[in-house]
């Protein structure tokens, strides 16, 4: 029996190997020449710690728009992970010893290198993730922008000098880097989220170990190759920006590893809850960017032209796969019918603009995986079962790839299970309200608290929305969509969205440790509370 089983396993391995050998890869097609321009090959090592290697499973990356194989990647093993962390720790001793302005100069060069490759890397994002080309290029631009931001930060980071109550004394705050920062990013923003974390972490003196999504490994490799060239040119250890392609086992190892001083995790709330517990058990630090059941409120005095444009962008952008995607549209009863009518008209036009993400005419790309399509279909079925009306959309498209119709659902209550659940797809629920107070209550009623927006011209309503009894989200907008955050502000949410902040404002503080320093420059020694030892 064991011999028979061994023969079957061996046969399957041979069949897989032959299948791979006979498989046509997009990277071999001249139409996709930008792949080789990024340094990618038919088979790519998926681990970098100053050198490229990989000793794990060979996986294939597929385009969600066609299902075609792009290229292969050799994943990392547990031993490969250990090698990465070891080298990151060694590199930290070199990197943290450099001046902050010099580190900022290296980050500036990384930003320039990304600028030089922005079109090709943006195309890869569109090909492997599935978002349309302007979004793919725009995502790389976010990494460029945060590099610019971090360069300035490298010359301003620091703490205050505080007045002491004791004569001849001074109080200081001193900030130092943590050590190794781990970044686990999701498929939907495979470049930008890493960039938000890496640019700040590097400028602050940390080394970084990155694990991207298993379905966007080529993006992780290509991005790291760009950074690695900058480090090599400046004689900086490559493990300053290490990377490993791996599955859940690698992510779990990062969460449990005491050598990872800070772990930034972007992903689902259920997985994020587990990650948070694992990190907390070892008293580590974490930044959790999880789910978002985001709402946009349309007040009775809102500019409906702005409402429609903003809602369509927030609902359909990235095929509904942003953490800030609009999922609940809360509309005052006086303008509800008009908003619904206009939305349906625009949605009908967008249906005809689905297609190849690399085509400049395309407005709607695919969902990232077949599993996402299945979840979309299950959610639509559940909405119907609960009494919802599909105003437009509601079906997977009959074409190659993972395409679904943007969908508007009406007739459900705000507390319906399907409305309270985040579905990573272009589905929006329209909810009718009588007042702003009712709308705010609905906005705050879900478990997540990422992004929210109010459309109104009334200053009183605006400040009610911004105050202690307004939105409970980390992002609280007025007259703009729920998505499209700028890098200059802190990004993150409340409740089951996780906690912590990335990108701008004072998010840099999470990547450093603070020490309060008291210096006695006098010849006296006054003790606290007036105590005298004689």
Residues taking part in catalysis: 289
Q: How far apart are CA 534 and CA 525, in angstroms?
A: 12
Place of tokens 């009712």: 438
Closest CA to 295 of 139, 445, 91: 445
Closest CA to 354 of 344, 371, 346, 366: 366
Closest CA to 91 of 234, 239, 197: 239
- Classify strands 69-74 and 389-392 as parallel, antiparallel or unpaired: unpaired
Q: How far apart are CA 52 and CA 307, in angstroms?
A: 49
- DSSP states of 200-237: HHHHTT-EEEEE--TT-HHHHHHHHHHHHHHHHHTT--
Those residues with Cβ within 8 angstroms of residue 283's Cβ, 6 or more apart along the chain or in another chain: none
Inter-residue contact 279 to 251 (CB < 8 Å): no
Inter-residue contact 433 to 439 (CB < 8 Å): yes
End-to-end Cα, the chain, rounded Å: 86
Beta bridge mates, 331: 298, 432
Beta bridge mates, 368: none
- Classify strands 475-478 and 451-455 as parallel, antiparallel or unpaired: parallel
Torsion, Cα 141 142 146 148, to 10 degrees, reads 20
Those residues with Cβ within 8 angstroms of residue 198's Cβ, 6 or more apart along the chain or in another chain: 183, 208, 210, 227, 241
Phi, psi (deg, nearest 5) at residue 121: -70, -35
Those residues with Cβ within 8 angstroms of residue 135's Cβ, 6 or more apart along the chain or in another chain: 125, 126, 317, 318
Inter-residue contact 378 to 344 (CB < 8 Å): no
Q: How far apart are CA 445 and CA 472, in angstroms?
A: 9
- DSSP states of 253-292: HHHH-TTEEEEEEES-HHHHHHHHHHHHHTT-EEEEE---
Give the DSSP letter of residue 240. Answer: G
Q: How far apart are CA 253 and CA 244, in angstroms?
A: 12
E strand intervals along 39-103: 43-45, 47-48, 52-53, 58-62, 69-74
């Amino acid at each position: 029996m064991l011999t028979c089983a061994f023969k079957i396993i061996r046969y399957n391995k041979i069949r897989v190997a032959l299948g791979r050998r006979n498989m046509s890869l997009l990277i071999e097609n001249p139409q996709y020449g930008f792949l080789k321009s990024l340094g990618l090959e038919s088979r790519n090592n998926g681990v970098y710690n100053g050198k490229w290697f990989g000793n794990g499973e060979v996986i294939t990356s597929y385009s969600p728009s066609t299902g075609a194989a792009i290229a292969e990647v050799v994943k990392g093993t547990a031993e490969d992970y250990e090698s990465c962390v070891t080298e990151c720790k060694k590199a930290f001793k070199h990197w943290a010893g450099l001046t902050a302005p010099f580190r900022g100069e290296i980050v500036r060069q990384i930003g320039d290198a990304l600028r030089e490759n922005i079109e090709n890397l943006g195309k890869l994002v569109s090909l492997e993730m599935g978002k349309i080309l302007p979004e793919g290029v725009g995502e790389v631009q976010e990494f460029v922008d945060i590099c610019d931001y971090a360069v300035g930060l490298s010359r301003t980071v620091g703490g205050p000098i505080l007045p002491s109550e004791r004569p001849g004394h001074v109080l200081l705050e001193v900030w130092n880097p943590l050590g190794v920062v781990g970044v686990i990013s999701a498929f939907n923003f495979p470049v930008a989220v890493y960039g938000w974390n890496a640019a700040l972490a590097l400028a602050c003196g940390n080394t970084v170990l990155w694990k991207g999504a298993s379905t966007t490994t080529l993006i992780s490799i290509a991005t790291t190759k760009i950074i690695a060239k900058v480090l090599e040119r400046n004689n900086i250890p490559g493990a300053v920006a290490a990377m490993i392609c791996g599955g859940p086992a690698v992510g779990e190892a990062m969460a449990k590893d005491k050598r990872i001083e800070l772990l930034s995790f972007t992903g689902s709330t259920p997985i994020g809850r587990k990650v948070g517990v694992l990190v907390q058990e070892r008293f580590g630090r974490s930044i959790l960017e999880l789910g978002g059941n985001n709402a946009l409120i349309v007040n009775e005095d809102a500019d409906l032209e702005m409402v429609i444009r903003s809602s369509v962008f927030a609902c359909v952008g990235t095929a509904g796969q942003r953490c800030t995607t609009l999922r609940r549209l809360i509309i005052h009863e006086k303008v509800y019918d008009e908003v619904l009518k206009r939305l349906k008209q625009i949605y009908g036009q967008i249906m005809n603009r689905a297609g190849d993400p690399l085509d400049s005419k395309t407005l709607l790309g695919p969902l990232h995986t077949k599993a996402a399509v299945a979840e979309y279909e299950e959610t639509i079925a559940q909405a119907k079962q609960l009494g919802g009306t599909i105003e437009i959309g509601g079906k997977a498209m009959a074409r190659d790839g993972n395409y679904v119709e943007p969908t508007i659902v009406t007739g459900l209550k705000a507390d319906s299970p399907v409305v309270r659940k985040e579905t990573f797809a272009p589905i929006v629920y329209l909810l009718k309200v009588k007042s702003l107070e009712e709308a705010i209550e609905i906005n705050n009623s879900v478990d997540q608290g990422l992004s929210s927006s109010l459309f109104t011209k009334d200053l009183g309503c605006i400040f009610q929305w911004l105050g202690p009894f307004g939105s409970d989200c980390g992002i609280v907008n007025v007259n703009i969509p729920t998505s499209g955050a700028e890098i200059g502000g802190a990004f993150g949410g409340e409740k089951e969205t996780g906690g912590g902040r990335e990108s701008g404002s004072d998010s840099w503080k999470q990547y450093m440790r603070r020490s309060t320093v008291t210096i006695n420059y006098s010849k006296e020694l006054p003790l606290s509370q007036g105590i005298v030892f004689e």
